[in-house]
Chain A
């Protein structure tokens, strides 16, 4: 059984049109998944369903073998955390320390243990010096890092990022991506919803959603070669990959192709 299993999941906000339709995906432990898709394709809805914020109309979600339902949501959410788009709307605490503690307080972690973990995870996201700062004095990127620390402190090992970088300036964005890379190295499962192809390229596999359905779900290298996936979903392929794809497939082009891929991935 995969670490995350979604079986024939459908969901509708108004009981008329399905925002998610018959979604079946498996995600392995430690994988980095990127989710692409145009506005309104159901990416955020899927993310909310995965953390049990929505109850599926039909279908099932298993996280680490546990069926997600009203009774198991509390247990499941210990494993899976979500960082939302707007850094301001998810910062619950009055200070950084409070905010990292919030999830642990809900899990009834003893105070001493909390204080230790706060230090440990604040250090991990490089916020140790800012524990007493208030959100008004933090940048968007710092707030997102605090959100990550709060999730890590709950011992979650799956983190969903729902356009978590989209409200950040280019520098903080790059920095946050850097932290996500280290989380992935540490063995966490990453699900990253994004509109940035360059960010999606970092993933092991890419899930493309279209009108609530899975349009494609394949290895990053494979999907990047399928031009029609990008044109059909109004996604823009990075120039380097576009070039690489347009080169005829033969031995003499191989080196250039590899270079172009390398270039796109570093970017």
Chain B
């Protein structure tokens, strides 16, 4: 959890590291909008190809980007499956009979039990999960002996469904890749400062972007500390007999509350002390301050911004045609 403070940032040297954070934020935003404007899977696949070429040019390891996808992998797969199952337009491509018999039901039960046991000890849990889903599918298709529990049913895939699900998934893929590139190559401090500068014009409507950025960077700074603290409290409570892993929902709720209450109290005291520390070092909210980090806008930034504007323009043209 200690790493959360740097987020996904990995120090490196490629092209994207040298861009100004403002450029990166704006460009990613433009390209994201462009991606949302694309309408066919073919266009999206081209966009995905462009994104991958960009990764290669920026010398960003594709594996690291894939790792960034991990948290939303489940979401991606569910979207894919739901789209395939629910969308019944166009030509039918697959029509597969399946049956649920006593045997298959037993197999499923067995698979579930094995999954529950194995998944605790396995590193690539997700691959295992996929293997299980695939084997369940195969069992449903090919095991047809035994007493049938329900009428046989069929699994159908329609062309439009496949297209739509691929469309949604590829779009999500591109967008996640874009934001991963941003967070992979930009320090959170630079990111907040970029945001601060970009939102500076909002001062006219009363939005204080500097305080906003300071709040973000202090939050970033305190996330690991707070996790440490939660850990300590949990240990303290576990040593007095609390069990955070087992129990009914009601018990779990109680445990969460017993964790949250001390954490709130500590956070409250902390904020008072932090405010004192900041004030004693002459921090005055809303006053002008100099900054140790300086953002420099170079020819690379001009180039990158131009390219992203062109991409956005291209997408708009495609949409209008």
Interface residues of A (CB under 8 A from B): 48, 51-53, 74, 77-78, 81-82, 84, 86, 88-95, 97-98, 101-111, 114-115, 118, 134-137, 150-151, 154
Asked if A103 contacts B281 (CB within 8 A), the reply is yes
**Distance in Å: Cβ of A18 to nearest Cβ of chain B:** 21
In the complex, B220 has a CB within 8 A of chain A: yes
Tell me how many residue pairs across A and B have CB atoms closer than 8 Å: 99
A19 to B120, CA, bound (A): 57
Most chain-B CB neighbours within 10 Å: which of A74, A91, A105, A111?
A105
CB–CB B274/A108 < 8 A:
no
Which of A81, A103, A106, A111 is most buried by chain B, counting CB atoms within 10 A of its CB? A106
Instruction: Contacts A92-B218, A134-B6, A135-B225 given; indicate if A106 touches B283 (C-beta within 8 A).
Output: yes
Task: Give bound CA distance, A84 to B217, whole Å.
Answer: 21
CB atoms of B5 and A94 under 8 A apart: yes
Task: Choose among A91, A92, A101, A136 the residue with the greatest number of B CB atoms under 10 Å from its CB.
Answer: A136
Given A106-B283, A108-B289, check contact A90 B274 (CB 8 Å). yes
- CB–CB B282/A97 < 8 A: no
Residues 147-161 of B, flagged 1 when their CB comes within 8 A of A and 0 if not, give 000000000000000
Considering the complex, which residues of chain B in the window 234-289 have a beta carbon less than 8 Å from any beta carbon of chain A? Answer: 269-270, 273-274, 276-284, 287-289
* Chain B neighbourhood of A88, CB < 8 A: 225, 270
Identify which of B49-57, B127-135, B290-298 touches chain A: B290-298
Cβ of B188 within 8 Å of any chain A Cβ, yes or no, is yes
Contact pick for B280, options A77, A98, A101, A109, CB 8 Å: A77
Would you mind naming 18 contact pairs between A and B with Cβ atoms under 8 Å apart? A77-B281, A81-B281, A89-B270, A89-B274, A92-B218, A92-B274, A93-B221, A94-B189, A94-B217, A102-B283, A107-B282, A108-B288, A109-B290, A110-B290, A134-B221, A137-B2, A154-B281, A154-B282
Give Cα A112 to B64, complex, Å. 36
Which chain A positions have C-beta within 8 A of B290? 104-105, 108-111, 114
Instruction: Decide: B277 and A92 in contact? CB cutoff 8 A.
Output: yes
Interface size on B, residues (CB 8 A): 32
CB distance from B267 to the nearest CB of A (A): 10
Contact of B224 among A78, A98, A106, A136 (CB under 8 A): A136
Which positions in B face A, CB cutoff 8 Å? Answer: 2, 5-6, 188-189, 217-218, 220-221, 224-225, 228, 269-270, 273-274, 276-284, 287-292, 294
Please determine whether B280 and A136 come into contact, CB atoms closer than 8 angstroms: no
- What are the 4 A-B residue pairs with the smallest beta carbon separation, nearest first? A90-B277, A89-B273, A103-B281, A136-B224
The complex places the Cα of A45 from the Cα of B290 at a distance, in Å, of 31
B277–A89 touching, CB < 8 Å:
yes
> Shortest distance in angstroms between B183's beta carbon and chain A's nearest beta carbon?
15
A34 to B219: give the CA distance in the assembly, Å: 35
Q: Which of A51, A102, A106, A136 contacts B287 (CB 8 A)?
A: A106
Docked-complex contact A78 and B282, CB < 8 angstroms: yes
Bound complex: CA A78 to CA B273 (Å) = 19
A137 partner residues in chain B, CB cutoff 8 A: 2
Chain B residues contacting A114 (CB-CB under 8 Å) are 290, 292
CB distance from B119 to the nearest CB of A (A): 30
- CB contacts (< 8 Å) of B2 on chain A: these are 136-137
Contact A48 B276 (CB under 8 A): yes
Task: Decide: A97 near B280, CB < 8 A? Known: A134-B5, A134-B224, A137-B2.
Answer: no
- Which residues of B are found within 8 Å of A150, using beta-carbon distances? 281
Known: A53-B276, A92-B274. A97 touches B292 (CB 8 A): yes
* Residue with the greatest number of chain A CB neighbours at <10 A, chosen from B274, B287, B294: B274
A94 touches B225 (CB 8 A): no
Given A88-B225, A94-B217, A136-B225, CB of A74 within 8 Å of CB of B284: yes
- Beta-carbon contact of B276 and A105 below 8 Å: no
- Chain A, residue nearest B2 (CB): A136
Q: Using Cβ atoms and an 8 Å threshold, which residues of chain B touch A102? A: 278, 281, 283
Q: Which A-chain residue is minimally distant from B227 (CB atoms)?
A: A136
Contacts of B276 in A (CB 8 A): 48, 53, 84
Min CB–CB distance A105 → chain B (angstroms)? 5
